[in-house]
Chain A
């Protein structure tokens, strides 16, 4: 049986097809990701190219409103950039930071959780106390310190170039404890099962036992929290950008766009904040809905629910 046939007959696909919310969320999410990743092709304007921006076009309302301009279907922001294009580029930045942060935090968290749960004793105590300490530090404080130190060390100019990796690291460092705890909990359940003992009996050393035998068996909860963590990371990034600690306005993410429009909301230019905000909500919502569905499917206790 080929992998594709296996997949076609799987419970996963079956339950997916029967859940309209999951299907809709999946379609919307895929559409958003496709648009975001192909931003240079799809977006009407390249908002990173200062030559295409004219300050005279600033704060034009959406095209269907009075004073709207046909060239800018969702209007323009305060710098005269096409809002639709900026949002598409912004979604791409948010998505990349969200995924990057989750990959990095999953790596740290899974490693810590595996070693902590498998070796137990002092290793466990030490790693879990570090995890607790990390949990106790709010990510905003980490972000404020990190970006302040970074700007001091490399200058504000370099900050614009390196903002994406820096944000990925800041968000990852402050969110990995969730992975560490989840993985540790399931390792504690798995490591006393007989197949682990059998692996020891056939003479395997710790490394293959941890990574080949235990790790795959802990992946279910990891998969579920990963979806939630992507949404969480996207929102963290938006919050940081909204506070001015995130992406610079020259390469805005959804969060920095919301912030840039916020000052003008009472002067009537509501669209600069509203459309990026709505896009952020939809993006995070579909991820969470998919995560919800995945949790239900992968939890055998809910099969007959």
Chain B
């Protein structure tokens, strides 16, 4: 296969009392070694669920209904708890949204870092500490030696996110899944963290799956983008193509909604309406009630991803077939 990560027709459902809700409906994508990819979408589009489904950490009522998650040729969703634990945190690391919450408030940073190493490798504690120190230097933390004996509350938000990244690096993973890693940080620190992630991907030979709602962020960081809407990928392709020549009406709407594209003082563009909740996804194309270019088929038939050019840009829209 050659791909580092390959998702095939992934369907994630949440089993509830009144029936199953489909949170992700047939998502497929591939990620190569050293490639950076972004998943973009509104809240509830299924971005984070996709991330959690990859490492098999869907919380309780959620389960993988169909599809395959292949990582380095291994089918992750078939592994036992014991086996996936060796992959999770080891070959695949995750970074979360809020660095205030992801570090345990009562353990020192050194303890939390060595614990990660020792969970996956036979190693002496002092060696683990050295490794932790080395990784802290890689993420450019000021006075890293001091940090090891400090508690999370003694560090600022940006520093904590760097620590979280350092923890993710400890086991030399080949894939990092970053779920909104900069949403809780202010803009200048955001840029710093993003630069750091790009640099680390290159120096450490890692791939990055960046999950975010922020198109501006993905456009600077990633090479590929997949746009998700109501549990489906509606458009995917190279970052340049998606940003400059978006084809799906939803992607076009998102890009028009960016404040940078406007003159000062004019009103922001917005897409009318709200994304449907999982309980009442409309039949056919889930976007059609909000779409401006709808054709009659939209309400009855769900569009599938079709290639629209020779650079692998894929769009799921009926209206595009005959422009």
Q: Interface on A for B, CB 8 Å cutoff?
A: 193-195, 197-205, 208, 212-213, 216-217, 219
Query: Are A202 and B89 within 8 A (Cβ)?
Result: yes
Query: Are B119 and A208 within 8 A (Cβ)?
Result: yes
Q: Interface on B for A, CB 8 Å cutoff?
A: 55, 57, 85-90, 93-94, 96-98, 101-107, 115-116, 119-120, 164, 167
Query: Are A201 and B94 within 8 A (Cβ)?
Result: yes
Chain B residues contacting A193 (CB-CB under 8 Å) are: 101
Query: Are A195 and B119 within 8 A (Cβ)?
Result: no
How far apart are B163's CB and chain A's nearest CB, in angstroms? Answer: 11
How far apart are A251's CB and chain B's nearest CB, in angstroms? Answer: 42
Least CB separation from A120: chain B residue: B60
Chain A residues contacting B87 (CB-CB under 8 Å) are: 203
How far apart are A110's CB and chain B's nearest CB, in angstroms? Answer: 16
Knowing that A204-B89, A217-B105 are A-B contacts, what are 8 other residue pairs whose CB atoms are under 8 Å apart, sorted by A's residue number? A194-B97, A197-B96, A197-B102, A201-B96, A203-B89, A204-B119, A208-B119, A216-B104
Least CB separation from A215: chain B residue: B106
Least CB separation from B99: chain A residue: A194
Query: Are A201 and B103 within 8 A (Cβ)?
Result: no
Query: Are B119 and A212 within 8 A (Cβ)?
Result: no
Chain A residues contacting B101 (CB-CB under 8 Å) are: 193-195
Query: Are A208 and B86 within 8 A (Cβ)?
Result: no
How far apart are A157's CB and chain B's nearest CB, in angstroms? Answer: 49
How far apart are B133's CB and chain A's nearest CB, in angstroms? Answer: 18
Contact of B93 among A194, A202, A208, A217 (CB under 8 A): A202
Query: Are A203 and B85 within 8 A (Cβ)?
Result: yes
Q: With A and B bound together, what is the CA distance between A285 and B33 in angstroms?
A: 67
Query: Are B88 and A212 within 8 A (Cβ)?
Result: no
Q: List 17 A-B contacts (CB under 8 A).
A: A194-B98, A194-B102, A198-B164, A199-B104, A201-B89, A201-B96, A202-B89, A202-B115, A202-B116, A202-B119, A202-B167, A204-B85, A204-B115, A205-B85, A213-B107, A216-B106, A216-B107
Q: With A and B bound together, what is the CA distance between A219 and B116 in angstroms?
A: 23
Known: A194-B98, A198-B96. A203 touches B120 (CB 8 A): yes
Least CB separation from A201: chain B residue: B94
Query: Are A198 and B88 within 8 A (Cβ)?
Result: no
Query: Are A201 and B88 within 8 A (Cβ)?
Result: yes
Q: With A and B bound together, what is the CA distance between A201 and B94 in angstroms?
A: 7
How far apart are B164's CB and chain A's nearest CB, in angstroms? Answer: 8
How far apart are A298's CB and chain B's nearest CB, in angstroms? Answer: 13
Known: A202-B93, A203-B119. A217 touches B88 (CB 8 A): no
Query: Are A195 and B57 within 8 A (Cβ)?
Result: no
Across the A-B interface, the 9 shortest Cβ-Cβ residue pairs:
A203-B89, A202-B89, A194-B101, A198-B102, A216-B106, A201-B94, A195-B104, A203-B88, A203-B85
Chain A residues contacting B107 (CB-CB under 8 Å) are: 212-213, 216
Chain B residues contacting A202 (CB-CB under 8 Å) are: 88-89, 93, 115-116, 119, 167
Query: Are A203 and B104 within 8 A (Cβ)?
Result: no
Chain B residues contacting A194 (CB-CB under 8 Å) are: 96-98, 101-102
Q: With A and B bound together, what is the CA distance between A193 and B102 in angstroms?
A: 8
Query: Are A195 and B55 within 8 A (Cβ)?
Result: no
Chain B residues contacting A212 (CB-CB under 8 Å) are: 107, 115
Contact of A201 among B57, B115, B120 (CB under 8 A): B57
Chain B residues contacting A201 (CB-CB under 8 Å) are: 55, 57, 88-89, 93-94, 96
Least CB separation from B98: chain A residue: A194
How far apart are B154's CB and chain A's nearest CB, in angstroms? Answer: 10
How far apart are B49's CB and chain A's nearest CB, in angstroms? Answer: 14
Q: With A and B bound together, what is the CA distance between A199 and B87 in angstroms?
A: 14
Chain A residues contacting B103 (CB-CB under 8 Å) are: 195, 198
Q: With A and B bound together, what is the CA distance between A197 and B57 in angstroms?
A: 9
Least CB separation from B103: chain A residue: A195
Q: With A and B bound together, what is the CA distance between A140 and B98 in angstroms?
A: 51
Query: Are B96 and A203 within 8 A (Cβ)?
Result: no
Q: With A and B bound together, what is the CA distance between A197 and B60 in angstroms?
A: 13
Chain B residues contacting A213 (CB-CB under 8 Å) are: 104, 107
Q: With A and B bound together, what is the CA distance between A219 and B107 in angstroms?
A: 13
Least CB separation from A202: chain B residue: B89
Q: With A and B bound together, what is the CA distance between A292 and B146 in angstroms?
A: 36
How far apart are B58's CB and chain A's nearest CB, in angstroms? Answer: 11
Known: A203-B89, A208-B119. A195 touches B105 (CB 8 A): yes
Q: With A and B bound together, what is the CA distance between A251 and B89 in angstroms?
A: 58
Q: With A and B bound together, what is the CA distance between A134 and B245 in angstroms?
A: 69
Least CB separation from A219: chain B residue: B106
Q: With A and B bound together, what is the CA distance between A198 and B89 in angstroms?
A: 9
Q: With A and B bound together, what is the CA distance between A203 and B90 in angstroms?
A: 7
Chain A residues contacting B164 (CB-CB under 8 Å) are: 198
Chain A residues contacting B115 (CB-CB under 8 Å) are: 202, 204, 208, 212
Least CB separation from B51: chain A residue: A201
Chain B residues contacting A200 (CB-CB under 8 Å) are: 57, 88
Q: With A and B bound together, what is the CA distance between A219 and B105 in angstroms?
A: 13
How far apart are B53's CB and chain A's nearest CB, in angstroms? Answer: 13
Least CB separation from A192: chain B residue: B59
Q: With A and B bound together, what is the CA distance between A198 and B178 in angstroms?
A: 12
How far apart are A91's CB and chain B's nearest CB, in angstroms? Answer: 35
